[in-house]
Amino acid sequence: MGNKYLCPKCRGRLDVHEYVAFTAQAKDGDRGLLLLSPHLGNYDVWHNDNFRYQQGDLVKYFCPICHKNLTAIEFHEHLVRIHMVDGDNIEHNVLFSGVAGEEATYKVRDDEIEPYGQHSNQYMQYFISARM
């Protein structure tokens, strides 16, 4: 995989094999595990068939280790934040949309913002005034 993914609260490892794992909560309160691709810009999601949500629903993401909410409320209530350590051992913030079906991801370090996904322009304005 190359990159390591960490919880910003407890610094626990979120990457497992070829996935990044989260505990998630759907709009109706149902909880389950979500597995996301570790490749920025890949929006494949794996979950149990019984954990259901609709496209457009806001799904809340939690660390499966410390159970803290990963919402990046300082930017926008729809964004989720984790940390990524790349192959050069450089740490970045990774923010992505928690709205099901919305393809918006951002790799952020200092003043550099690398957007990914067809909906990435949706949240760019929130990075201008906020600081990591």
The whole-number pLDDT of residue 1 equals: 47
Distance CA 95, CA 84 (A): 10
Distance CA 102, CA 86 (A): 24
- Give ∠ CA 77-38-3 in degrees, rounded to 5: 110
pLDDT in tens, 67-101: 999 999 989 999 999 999 999 999 999 999 999 99
Name, in order, each residue with C-beta under 8 angstroms of 2's C-beta and a sequence gap of 6 or more: 86, 87
By the 8 A CB rule, do 83 and 93 touch? Answer: yes
Confidence (pTM) = 0.93
Containing domain of residue 50, as a range? 4-129
Q: Based on the structure, what is the number of domains in the chain?
A: 1
Residue 90, amino acid: I
Q: DSSP readout, the chain?
A: ---EEE-TTT--B-EETTEEEEEEE-TTS-EEEEEE-SSTT---EEE-TTS---TTPBPEEE-TTT--B-B-TTT-TTEEEEEEE-TTS-EEEEEEE-BTT---EEEEETTEEEEESTTGGGSTHHHHH---
Q: What is the pLDDT along the chain (132 residues), one digit of tens a residue?
A: 489 999 999 999 999 999 999 999 999 999 999 999 999 999 999 999 999 999 999 999 999 999 999 999 989 999 999 999 999 999 999 999 999 999 999 999 988 999 999 999 999 888 765 654
The whole-number pLDDT of residue 127 equals: 77
